[in-house]
Structure 1
Amino acid sequence: MFRCGPCPYNLHIGKGSAEDQLKHPAGCPTRPGWQKAIGGNMLAHRATDSRLAQARSLLELGRAIPAGLLAAPIAASWRRCLDAGLDPHHPPNVGRIEQHELERHRAAHETARRLARAEMQALHRQLGRDSFVLAFADPDGVLIDSLVSEGRRGDIEAFGIVPGTVWEESLVGTNALGTASASRQRIAVRGAEHFFTHHQRLSCIAAPIFLPDRTLAGVLDATCFSEAYAPNARAIVALAAAEIEARLFRARLAGKRLLAIHGRAEFLDTAYAGLLALDAADRVVAANDQARFILAGLPEPIGATFGALFAPAELRPGAAGTLTDRAGRLFHARLDQPETARPRKIAPTQGVPAADAPVAEDPAARAALDMAARAAARGMPVLIRGATGTGKEVAARYAHRASGRSGRFVAVNCAAIPPDLIAAELFGHVEGAFTGARRGGAAGLAVEADGGTLFLDEIGDLPLPLQAALLRFLDDFSVRPVGGGMPRLVDVLLLTATNVDLGEAVAAGRFRADLYYRLAIAEITLPALRERSDIRPLAAHLLEQVAPGTRLEPAAASRLARHDFPGNVRELRNVLARAALTGEKVIGEETIAALLPAETAAPAAAGQSVLRDVQARRIEAALRAAGGNISRAARALGVSRNTIYRAIGRTPPTAAG
């Protein structure tokens, strides 16, 4: 039985009456001709497989391969491999450089890697976490970053797809990463199209990424086992590569006037826009491929003046307008004329002094804070998740100090600002931009954070139109005031926080997926206070802050540790502040008990159940902090791996042999 989703019928293929078949939409298996088309596709695939098998036999026999047996890019790659002296019978090991060399390659291509990482996060979700591994290689073929699910890591690493490996085509044969680099074009290498047979279980898609001067910046790759290959993945990878290329263009030419053009206004902020960089004499100094495509039939853009390409027009900086090219075609356009970024001295990261560091003896809390600090030190956006009162702003301030930035920490509560004023508060406004605008305008909070950190709390409450504006800001960190005016480049570390499940918000259409992936390059989750094992030292630290010289009796600390604290750290601080009002230098259990709900006696079985719940929450938090790695979570908790496996209901793997 074939179930047709869009149709009201459930029919055996080819069985319905002609009248029934005509009621089905195009593409339904019950329409006339569908079986014939499917049969034709299957025959075509079989013919392709037959030709590929024939070509491989000839390759392994050392004979010439006639034209037409292989796709032209694959045939050209095989010829290059043979010219390089590779023998299909003797596959080499994939080379791997030392860690210090890998760090040198990463540093040399940090901007491209950072932009690629954001797209890899998005691709991993789009293509399927357990289906594809994402990789980014530098122009030398060195894989400098990868993204793979824990469940697939062992299988993928067996093929050598790990950071530090070298995938140059002349060394390891036809492979998507190396072949895209050698040919400077997008390519898919499926199964037996690989030069060496030990890669035939894999299907790979790769797209080269170019700098504005057309030199290679790197290669983006998506690899899966051949049975999981999805044809639409080629288009998705190509679009991701175009996004990276567009952002590299803007980053490399941030000091120039940038002209974006497209036939539709909504595409001016996407990878589909044509981008032209203009110097002070209105001469084009750089153009992306999309601009060349859009302006087909006109002179080569680079070196041409604005007047040679477009009719005279007035474009307000930062505002959308229209242009007519010399062929008479009308385009939507926007001219960005940012202020040249001032060089900034960023103090080297020295870590955060112990006196300024939050108390976090709990393994999950400590791991989350450490990850935030490492990401901030590298200038990466950090998304801080956690329930209300778990200390998200404390974590953000800690990350700011760890970043070594000398500028201000500017905190913005997105839920506390009226929706129609958020853009003006963040990005500033010109005088008269709206009713109630300040005389002389305002620079905006993003400008106040220049050289420092911009912390957007309650990011999940940001309205959708503002999400688009924030995404545009993240493209080039150019602040465009409401009402026009000159854009200004800023240098900020962006930290965000929410107690909303953004994944669920994306699925419900309340939050943009592309913005979520940009914000969550580094994502941490702060555990609820009831899940933490360090309530006693945390309470002592908070009490010292609200009442220096005051301490808790051990029994009082134990009473606090037994409380559930639905309000988390904020509630704990408030309880201690009220307790300190008694004036006692040593706060006893009676004082604390009077400020908390009465404890109720529970049967032993219920007590054991609560204990199990607490243990399960701690294990869950440790696993979350360890990225799902059983061994790391076990080490953090000081228990065996078998304990973790029992807690999560999985059978421990048995030793081989």
Structure 2
Amino acid sequence: MRGMPDTGTHVLEVIRVAEGETSPRRDADVLASWRRCVNEHQLDPSRHAGPRIVTQKELRQHRQESEELLGVARHGMEDLYRRVNAMGYVLLLANARGVTVDAIGDAELDRELRHAGLIAGSEWHERHVGTNGVGACLATGRAITVHRTDHFDVALTPLSCTAVPVHDTRGGLIGVLDLSHLQAPQDKMSQALTLEVMKSCVRRIEMANLVRRHRADWILRLNPSPEFLDVDPMAAVAIDPEGRISGMTNNARELLAGGPAQALIGRRFDDIFAYDMDDLPKLSRAMAPVDGALEMQAGGLIFARAVPPTAPPRRAAEGSLPQPLRAIHGGDPAMECLAERAAKVVDRQISVILRGETGTGKEFIARAMHESSRRRGAFVAINCAALPEALIESELFGYTPNAFTGAHARGKKGLIREAHGGTLFLDEIGDMPLALQARLLRVLSERELLPVGATRAEPVDIRVISASHHDLAQLVAEGRFRQDLYYRLNGLVLDIPPVRARADLEWLIARIAGATEGKPRFSPQAMALLLAHDWPGNVREIVNLCELAAAMCDGAPVLPAHLPAGMADRAALSRSPAGSRPEDELLRLLDEHGGNVSAAARAAKIDRSTFYRRLRKSK
């Protein structure tokens, strides 16, 4: 790209800043990002790489996970791009992991945009590509312009990137909207108006999302002055039928409290406003006084306009459950209860233990909790049973340069520090050696860790979710697990039901099959046999079966004969004359009705769930 700076000069400036010097021509957030890149992410300031482009398979997965974000932002993106498309900009939408899931740019600049990485599928997280608009925005949660040589990576220094965070209605950071220019003017002030335009666009996106998601609630539009209240309000909050704040745009927290939005969710309307909830209709456009003045409990006035609900009231829990947790089940009551309980603690410093048989999907649930929270750091999963005891200390806590024989000259960050600002998932925590349990306890209680070979502890901010198929209380009684660590971890215990006990088993199999390469399609007869299976291997067994079925059938429907021997044998039984065994009769009815479980259950004069249960008990 044209406009590259002198590499040596750029590298020298970055190194000086990383060592503690300042630079008056750089914004404070840029300087802080440079220091993170060198000192935390251990990136080389002479790098000339640009962003990584994920595979098409990875991009599809990111887009599926970001379906809500894409739906929220696309209309606003198109409207914004119509206003800037003649100015050489490209508009990017990145998810909370820094991967671009949508992009709008000039088709005539396709080659240049691809060369710069300004396309869908580019990965902009700060720890991978250094200081950039999307990465710095994700790291701080604040809008930022990273202009030309503000970038850490020399390959990106011709670009100017203005990025603004996008929040969901509960205050969680769900993505970043970025407007980038391939060859911006040298003066950073040239992008000041761009930043304000981007903030305005995101404000409207969040406003539209609040209205869409909270149709059953009152929407209170807010502005510090009355002039633009009805035209372009600065913020809005949703008030549920019980009189509690159920959602808001991100700007609302600044107007109402100045603290995190999550601290306001669930608060009563009259805790915040000196106004009776029953009088909200008086603030509607039809009835309100011209200025719509509303007194705050903390003092001062704000101007408000109330918009009545446009949909019938919903169940209290509906809509308040984050999408990642809604996606962990297909209607199973036990899993639904688990998701609702988990949602109540995702943004609290309450440790969680996930308890269940091996293979029930503990890591999947832990990741859903992380993605449902407002934590912007990484999700780091550690299987305590898989790490060799000789390596587990250095892998977890990291080490200083040349701390021991064989240690890397640059040291190692360690998995706990990798999770700084995010979630640390400790799988099979019961298998952690006792000596390391003491060190982990200090990390949790003091919020700091001491790398191997270091003399000074380092602060660390982590949320811990642990899991075990053991009874940790029993391990404590046997002296195999520290009691003080157990009480530190034992905040909320969530019991995950085994697959054989789940009422949404058919949904679970279909979901895993849909996520499997080759997407196997099970015939009704094969699915009925799968639903009758005990699944001792739980989710892992389903994954293995789906992978095998996809390979064996290569797109053709999966028939009973394609299933593993134990399952296929049951199909053979159903084709033999009915004997005295009741399960043979059920299988025969299933075969007679072409695998239609509902029809077979009606013929047996039992309901569908009883039909499945009797088949399973016959195993």
Give the TM interval when normalised to the shorter protein.
0.3 to 0.5
TM-score, length-scaled by structure 2: 0.43
TM-score, length-scaled by structure 1: 0.41
